[in-house]
Chain A
Amino acid sequence: MLECKDIKKIYKNGAEETVVLKGISLRIEKGEFVAIMGPSGSGKSTLMHILGCLDTPTSGTYALDGQDASKLSDEELADIRVKKIGFVFQAFNLLPRATVLRNVMLPLVYARVAPDKREELAKQALRAAAFPEEFWNHHSNQLSGGMMQRVAIARALVNNPAMILADEPTGNLDTKTGEMVLAAFQQLHKEQGRTIVLITHEPYIAEHAERILYLRDGNLVRDEKTPTQRVVHEPSSL
C-alpha cells in the first residue's frame, strides 16, 4: 500500500553534502495508524515530505498505492498529492478570510471537481471529522485552535485520500484539545478504516497510534507495535 525501499536523501550545499536519510525501508498497510517518531534532526520531516510526495528521494524507491512516486516531476507530484494524500499541519494553514466550508472545498477546486458537487463532499468530510454544523459558515480565523485543526482534518479527508499525513498536528494545541484531535484520528481510523501517518517528536502523542517507527540520525532504528496504545474515549466537545 505504501512502500519505501532503501530511501536516501542527500542535500548538496556547494561541495558540502548532508545525508539526511541513510537508506530507509518501510511498509505501511492500508488502514494502519502509524506514528513516525524521532528527535529533531532525525530526518522525520524529510521522510514525511517524501511520503507526502512533496519531495523525491535522492535514491531508492517509494510506491504509494502501487504507483512509483520517487521519480516524478513537480506537476506529477501535485497530481498525486491532490488525489491520494490529505495533509494536516501543525499550524493548521487554513485560509483565514474564507469560511469553514470554503476551506474544506479548496482541495476539490484543485482536483477539478465540478462546482456543484463540492459542497456536498465538503459537508460529508466535516461530518466525518465531527465538526459541529453551526460553525460551517464561520470564517476560519474566528475558530479556536482545536476547531481549526478539525477543519484541517476535514480538508484532508475531502478528496477521500489513500493516506492522511499529519505533521505534529497537536504541536500548537494544549494537551486537552490535542487529545481531542488525536481522538478524531483514532475515530477515523477505527470507524472508517483510514490510513493515518502521524509525525511527532513526543512519545506521548505517538502512543496514540497502533505502531511506532523510531527514526534517529537518518536511520530507522525501531519499528514496533505500540506496547500500550492510548485510547481517547470522548472525542466530542471541543
Chain B
Amino acid sequence: MTITDILQETTTALSTNKVRSGLTMLGIVIGISSVIAMVSIGQGAQGAIQNSIQGLGSNLLTIIPGILQPGRGIVSSGRGAAQTLKNDDVTVLRSVEGISAISPELNRRFQITSSSGNNTNSTVIGVSPDYLTVRNVTVGNGSFITDNYLNSLGRVAVLGPTAAQDLFGDVDPIGKTIRINKINVQVIGVLQAKGSAGFFNPDDTVFVPITTMQHILAGVDYLSTIAVSVAQKDLMPQVKDEATAALAAKHRVDPQNPDFSIVSQSDILGTLTQVTTTFTIFLASIAGISLLVGGIGIMNMMLTTVTERTREIGLRKAIGAKKQDITQQFLAEAITLTFLGGTIGIFLGWMISFAVSRLANIATSVSLSSVALAFGVSAGIGIIFGYYPARRAAALNPIAALRYE
C-alpha cells in the first residue's frame, strides 16, 4: 500500500464514525492540552523567578554570617542571628582580586514616622555608596548616600518608592524629615521602583549611611550582609573561593567550616529552579495521567473498530492483503487520531496558558521543546495503543473473519 492508499482508507474509516472518532480524539486533546498548559505555567514561573533574581544585581555574591544549612536554602538562613561579620572584613575583601564593588549592609526593622504623621514599619538598611552598583538600583529623585555622609554619621535617608508612598503619599518627600527609632533624619532621595523579588520587597525600604545605622540607630558594630559585585561572571567561583579563604584567615576559622556563608546568585537560582522544576514535573505528570487515559480510549475504540470490521478485514485478506497491509491500515487510523488530537491539543493548551497569564496574571511560556514533546508523545501514544488492535486485526483468519456475523 502506498501512503496515499493508507490516507484514503484512514479518511474513509474515520469519517464513517465522526462522533466516535471525535470523542476518542477529545481524550488526546484534553491530555495534550493539559500537559502543554501545565508545563507552560511551570516554565513561566521559572522564568519569572530567574528574571527577578538577576534583577537583584549582576554577578552578585552575598556574604552572610552563620552557616547556610544545606537543603534548607537561603530562605531560612537565620540571617542576623550571628554577629560574625565586622567592618574589618570589608577591608580584607578589598584585597581579593576580581571584586569590583563591595557593599556592607546592616538591616533592621524600625517603626518610622513622617513629619506629616504617617507611620510605617519598614526595613531600614545601613549602606555605603557602592550599594547602587552592587544591588543594581537607581535613584529616581534626589541623591543617594555619599562618602561624606558616611564619614560624618550623616542623619540622612533615601526612601524606597513604597516607603515614600506610605510616609508621604503624593507629596515630594525630599528635604522632609522622618523619625526612625526616635531619631530625626532628613530625606535626600527616592529610588526608582524595582518590583518585588519574591520574599523581600526592595521598594519598601529606607536607606541610611551604614555608619549612622551602626552607631546611632542600632548601636552595634557588626554587619548583617556584605554584598560583593564580581567583575566578570566566569570569575565568580574563583572570587568565592578566595573570599572564603581570606575571611576564614581573618576570623581564624577552618575554611572548610567557616562561621559565614557566601551565596552566589546561581546558588539561589539553583535552589529555586529545583523547586520550580519539581513543581513543573508534578503538574505535568498529573496532566500525563489524562493523556494516558486518552490513549486507553484510543485503544478501546480501535478494538471496537476491529471487531466491527471483521468481515471487511476477512475480505481484504481473502483478496490478498498481507498482515503488514492490515497492520499499517489500522495503525495509521490510530496515529491519525492521536496526531490530530495532539495538534488540536497543542493549540488548546497554548490558548489555556495564554488565558491563564491574562486572567490570573501568572507568567506562562509555551516552549518549542514542550510542543515538540507533545507531538512526539501523541504520535507515540497512537503507535503504542494502536499497535495491539492493529496486530489483532492482522492476525485474523480470513475464513473465520468472512463468516463473522
Residues of A within 8 A of B (CB): 49, 52, 54-55, 74-75, 78-79, 81-83, 87, 89, 91, 93, 95, 97-98, 102, 106-107, 109-111, 115, 155, 159
Shortest CB–CB separation between residue A65 and chain B, in angstroms?
A: 15
Q: Can you list 17 pairs linking A and B with CB atoms under 8 Å apart?
A: A52-B318, A74-B323, A75-B323, A78-B320, A78-B322, A79-B320, A81-B320, A83-B320, A93-B312, A93-B318, A97-B12, A97-B16, A98-B12, A109-B2, A109-B5, A110-B321, A111-B320
Shortest CB–CB separation between residue B16 and chain A, in angstroms?
A: 6
A115 touches B2 (CB 8 A): yes
A78-B317, A83-B320 provided; 8 other pairs, C-beta below 8 A? A54-B398, A54-B399, A87-B318, A102-B8, A110-B319, A110-B321, A110-B322, A111-B320
CB nearest to A87 among chain B residues = B318
Chain B residues, Cβ within 8 Å of A49: 399
Chain A residues, Cβ within 8 Å of B166: none
Partner of B318, one of A54, A75, A97, A102: A54
Residues of B within 8 A of A (CB): 1-2, 4-5, 8, 12, 16, 311-312, 314-323, 325, 398-399, 402
Chain A: interface secondary structure? helix
A109 touches B1 (CB 8 A): yes
Chain B residues, Cβ within 8 Å of A79: 320, 322
Chain B residues, Cβ within 8 Å of A78: 317, 320-322
Interface-centre pick from B1, B2, B318, B398 (highest chain A CB count, 10 A): B318
Chain B: interface secondary structure? helix
Q: How many contacts A-B (CB < 8 Å)? A: 60
CA distance A110 to B150 in the complex (A): 92
CA distance A74 to B271 in the complex (A): 61
CA distance A68 to B185 in the complex (A): 111
Nearest 4 A/B pairs, CB to CB: A82-B320, A93-B315, A110-B320, A107-B319
Partner of A110, one of B311, B316, B402: B316
CB nearest to B13 among chain A residues = A97
CA distance A193 to B319 in the complex (A): 22
A110 touches B398 (CB 8 A): no
A106 touches B319 (CB 8 A): yes
CB nearest to B317 among chain A residues = A78
CA distance A79 to B323 in the complex (A): 11
Shortest CB–CB separation between residue A80 and chain B, in angstroms?
A: 8
B319 touches A55 (CB 8 A): no
CA distance A102 to B11 in the complex (A): 14
Shortest CB–CB separation between residue B325 and chain A, in angstroms?
A: 6
Given A78-B321, A110-B322, answer yes or no on A95-B312 (Cβ-Cβ < 8 Å): yes
CA distance A95 to B323 in the complex (A): 19
Chain A residues, Cβ within 8 Å of B319: 81-82, 87, 106-107, 110, 155
B322 touches A75 (CB 8 A): yes
A110 touches B325 (CB 8 A): yes
Chain B residues, Cβ within 8 Å of A106: 316, 319
Shortest CB–CB separation between residue A171 and chain B, in angstroms?
A: 13
Shortest CB–CB separation between residue B318 and chain A, in angstroms?
A: 5
CA distance A111 to B399 in the complex (A): 20
Shortest CB–CB separation between residue B313 and chain A, in angstroms?
A: 11
CA distance A107 to B318 in the complex (A): 10
Chain B residues, Cβ within 8 Å of A93: 311-312, 314-315, 318, 402
CA distance A82 to B315 in the complex (A): 12
CA distance A102 to B402 in the complex (A): 20
Chain A residues, Cβ within 8 Å of B312: 93, 95
Shortest CB–CB separation between residue A100 and chain B, in angstroms?
A: 14
Given A89-B315, A98-B12, answer yes or no on A107-B320 (Cβ-Cβ < 8 Å): yes
Shortest CB–CB separation between residue B9 and chain A, in angstroms?
A: 9
CB nearest to B318 among chain A residues = A87
Chain B residues, Cβ within 8 Å of A74: 323
Chain A residues, Cβ within 8 Å of B317: 78
CA distance A97 to B312 in the complex (A): 12
CA distance A228 to B5 in the complex (A): 47
CA distance A159 to B318 in the complex (A): 13
Chain B residues, Cβ within 8 Å of A109: 1-2, 5
B322 touches A81 (CB 8 A): no
Chain B residues, Cβ within 8 Å of A102: 8
